Structure 1
Amino acid sequence: MAGNDWLSTRRTELAADRILDAAGELFATRPPGSVGMHDIAQAAGCSRATLYRYFENREALHTAFVHREAHALHHRMVEEINGIEDPSRRLVAGFLTSLKMVRESAALRAWFSTGDAPIGAEIAEQSDIIKAMSAAFVVSLGPDEPESVDRKARWLVRVLTSLLIFPGRDDEDERAMVEEFLVPIVTPGVTPAPRRTGQPAQGQAAQ
């Protein structure tokens, strides 16, 4: 019985992957928001009834696709920065590598296009799985308080999706922003100087 259960589960995973592969081919050429379940079923060579057996709606399929691609990207990024021990250098390398990998993937790049609703940013913001991967990256930079890890992880996701939607002028501009603004805040042991109580905010004249 256990063997049959395992086989059934494995077949389900293979079928779901086949559907997501077909969806990825469509996402690489068309805005994700314009790809319907009928299109995906046709590309995967299955009926809509079969498609809905694995994914109850388009939102569920979108989430599954982004999670699968994010897992793969995360593992590739970790492999690329393996051996970089300095927290600041590891942060810069990991962040910029992730940015580059998303942009190099036609199936993922479209999720952050300004010409269409940036569905990828919305999924990333709401996904506990993506936040968990981001938190694991923050922890790899050094010891930190759990509450701080959570905030930094959520902020890294927001900064990454922001640059995917609104890129910097060029690679050097983005690297400079990461080194100037991300490193002092995210790298353990380096925090911005607190503003004194009553001190006017930047750009606000003192009364």
Structure 2
Amino acid sequence: MGDDVARPAEGRQPAAPVSRGQMARRVRILRAASELGAREGLASVQMHDVAKEAGVAIATLYRYFPSKPYLFMAVLEWHIEQYLGSHEHIAAAEGTDAAAEVAELLITLSVKLLDSPLLASAVALSSFTEYATAVPARIDLVDSALGQAILRLLGADEASETDRSRARLLIYGWWGLFVAMLTEEISTEEAETNMRLAARLLLTP
């Protein structure tokens, strides 16, 4: 069975899980894709294998995730949400250095994602694919779990457009450094130094 079987029509929006059962199926799919991606890498993972591993029909898989790149971008977002969920205390504290706190959050997240090199490669490769043409509606990065965590560290309860722009630039900078670490263009130490510098330049008044 090829990956084209039961593929949704071009441009169709992915279904949003509403019931508890639907949310549980979505998580099973994300977990299955994570495990397969970590073992085999993006090229070797087939959508029907993800469906089988998750215990769902291939049509169900495509209903939530219209393409493999879209699926693995969702895997990345899910892993970030899981990481942030285990750090629910993330918030601005009086007297703390916001730039240092944000840099540390992003550095630690990079290290966590790089614990599984094949999965990290899978999500990075997926980010370079033009999946947005098939799924045009994407949220602003600042409204993602990571963007909201950064705003909390900045103490921005009512974020201004400048706050949102800073958070957005930090995420773009972090992602570029993450990919550079993954491809070994720069060392972990260089990436950490650059991330701290970027946070300092963007967040220092």
Q: State the TM bucket, normalised to the shorter chain.
A: 0.5 to 0.7
Decide whether aligned partners of structure 1 residues 172 and 63 sit closer, same or farther in structure 2, where only a CA change above 3 A counts: closer
Task: State the 1:104 CA deviation.
Answer: 1.8
Higher relative contact order (CA closer than 8 Å, sequence separation 6+): 2
Q: Aligned pair 1:11/2:21, yes or no?
A: yes
Q: Please state if 1:176 is matched with 2:174.
A: no
**What aligned pairs does 1:142-157 form with structure 2 within 5 A after superposition?**
142-143=155-156, 146-157=160-171
- By how many angstroms is 1:57 displaced? 4.1
Contact kept, 8 Å, 1:19 with 1:40, in 2: the verdict is: yes
| Paired position in structure 2 for 1:197 | none
More helix as a share of residues: 1
Distance in 1, Cα, partners of 2:198 & 2:63: 45
Could you list the per-position Cα deviations for residues 24-56 of structure 1 after superposition, in whole angstroms to 9, with x for gaps in the alignment? 111112232542221212222343234334444
Query: What are the ranges of 5 or more consecutive residues in structure 2 without an aligned counterpart?
Result: 1-17
CA distance in 1, matches of 2:117, 2:151: 27
TM-score of the superposition, structure 2-length normalised?
0.67
1:103 aligns with 2:114: yes
Match of 1:67 in 2: 77
Q: Could you tell me the TM-score, scaled by structure 1's length? A: 0.67
Work out the percentage of aligned pairs sharing the same amino acid: 22
1:109, 1:128 → 2: CA distance? 22
Alignment of 1:86-165 (within 5 A): 86-106=97-117, 108-111=119-122, 118-120=125-127, 127-128=138-139, 130-132=141-143, 133-136=145-148, 137-143=150-156, 146-165=160-179
Residues 112 and 37 (structure 1), Cα distance of their counterparts in 2 relative to 1, 3 Å cut = closer
**Structure 1 153/111 Cα, relative in aligned 2: closer, same or farther at 3 Å?**
farther
- In our comparison, the structure showing a higher alpha carbon Rg is 1
Which residue matches 1:185? 202
RMSD, aligned CA: 3.4
Tell me the residue number matched to 1:202. none
Equivalent residues, number: 176
Q: Contact 2:25/2:56 (CA < 8 Å) preserved in 1?
A: no
Gaps of 5+ in 1: 1-7, 190-207
Alignment of 1:26-105 (within 5 A): 26-77=36-87, 79=89, 85-105=96-116
Q: Does structure 2 conserve the Cα–Cα contact (< 8 Å) formed by 1:112 and 1:119?
A: yes
In 1, the alpha carbon distance for the partners of 2:187 and 2:52 equals 39
